[in-house]
Amino acid sequence: MASGMRLLSVAANAVIVVACVVVDVALHRLGAWAFDFNYFDNGLPQSVLVEKGYFPAAASLGFVVMFAFLGLSYARSRSKLRGTPFSSGLRFFAPIAFIMFFGVFESAFIFPTPFKAELVTAFADAAPYILLGALLSRFARPEGSTGNGREGETASWRSMVWVALFFVLGRYLVSYPILQIVSGYKLRVAGTLAWTVGCGLSMGAFYWLAGSSFAAGTPIRKALRVGAFTLGVFWLMIQLFFALISDVSISDLLTRAAADAAYLVIGIYSYERMFRAGRSLGRAVPA
């Protein structure tokens, strides 16, 4: 009986992932048609996948991997998220949608690519994650839980600002001037600052609303689980998606993703250590 329920849950997750991929692709097609632009006409050299006509298949596979990864992450953590199934889905996936939005929109400040096209694309990429959360919370069975089990306590809203601060400082003190990742922080000062703060707050919001309730034995394990193995891996996927469209530096994408993940880990670890250390696993009281 248990194995049958598990298979049914896996099947439901798979169907939901495929449905969200279809919606994602449809939104991109609709956006390009409604606002009359070509995603590949962005002023950058096209990738081999685009030139050979393999991009649609590669992009669809990329969407599947990203949605499936987050679906599995949500299933692992759902039993610790407080509230109703629907609210727990929003707590997890709403910040993810904003992270996706800013991740895609970064291109407009890095290269820069056409602003309107990137803005439409960012909305088209972000919206399906809200749908993914709503569907998973409604139809997918949480792993390791028999019922609601929403006992995990989240951190204070101040944790969002704390984590964002480490992200912004890391970008401006290390990534931009020392690692010299491709950016517009000198030529497009205001836009790059607004993007960096917005992205940092989105990362921090995920920790505040969802990640802070993840089960972990120590502050460093919590920081690694949230900052590296959830946000870090997802952020790496977003960065590498640029390489499917344009001929850009893979090493630069890897560097920015790894550095950003390190800033998140440091920010989350310091918050856990300073304000939540000594609290029981998955039951920390907000600072």
What's the pLDDT tens digit per position in 97-111? Answer: 999 999 999 999 998
Pick the more confident residue, 277 or 13. 13
Domain annotation covers residue 188: yes
Domain annotation covers residue 281: no
Domain annotation covers residue 29: yes
Domain annotation covers residue 22: yes
Q: Which of 82-86, 102-106, 177-181, 233-237 has the lowest mean pLDDT?
A: 82-86
Domain annotation covers residue 154: yes
Mean pLDDT of all residues in 17-24 = 96
What's the pLDDT tens digit per position in 207-263? Answer: 999 999 999 989 999 999 999 999 999 999 999 999 999 999 999 999 999 999 999
Mean pLDDT of all residues in 155-178 = 98
List CB contacts of 97: < 8 A, sequence separation 6 or more. Answer: 126, 127, 129, 130
Domain annotation covers residue 212: yes
The whole model's pTM is what? 0.92
Domain annotation covers residue 13: yes
Q: How many domains does the chain have?
A: 1
**Mean pLDDT, all residues of the chain:** 90
pLDDT grade for 146, boundaries at 50, 70 and 90:
very low
Q: What is the predicted pLDDT for the residue at 140?
A: 66
Q: What is the predicted pLDDT for the residue at 139?
A: 81
Residue written as token pair 């679906």: 71
pLDDT grade for 285, boundaries at 50, 70 and 90:
very low
Q: What is the predicted pLDDT for the residue at 3?
A: 63
CA-CA distance, 92 to 45, in Å (whole number)? 36
List the alpha helices (DSSP H) in the chain.
Answer: 2-34, 48-52, 55-77, 85-105, 107-110, 115-139, 158-170, 189-209, 219-223, 231-245, 250-271
CA-CA distance, 245 to 194, in Å (whole number)? 25
203 near 264, Cβ under 8 Å?
Answer: yes
Flag whether pLDDT at 148 surpasses 90.
Answer: no
Domain containing residue 158:
2-276
Domain annotation covers residue 287: no
Flag whether pLDDT at 44 surpasses 60.
Answer: yes
Rounded to 10 degrees, the C-alpha dihedral 111/130/133/271 comes to 60
Rounded to 10 degrees, the C-alpha dihedral 18/19/20/21 comes to 50
CA-CA distance, 162 to 212, in Å (whole number)? 13
Q: Which of 41-45, 156-160, 179-183 has the lowest mean pLDDT?
A: 41-45
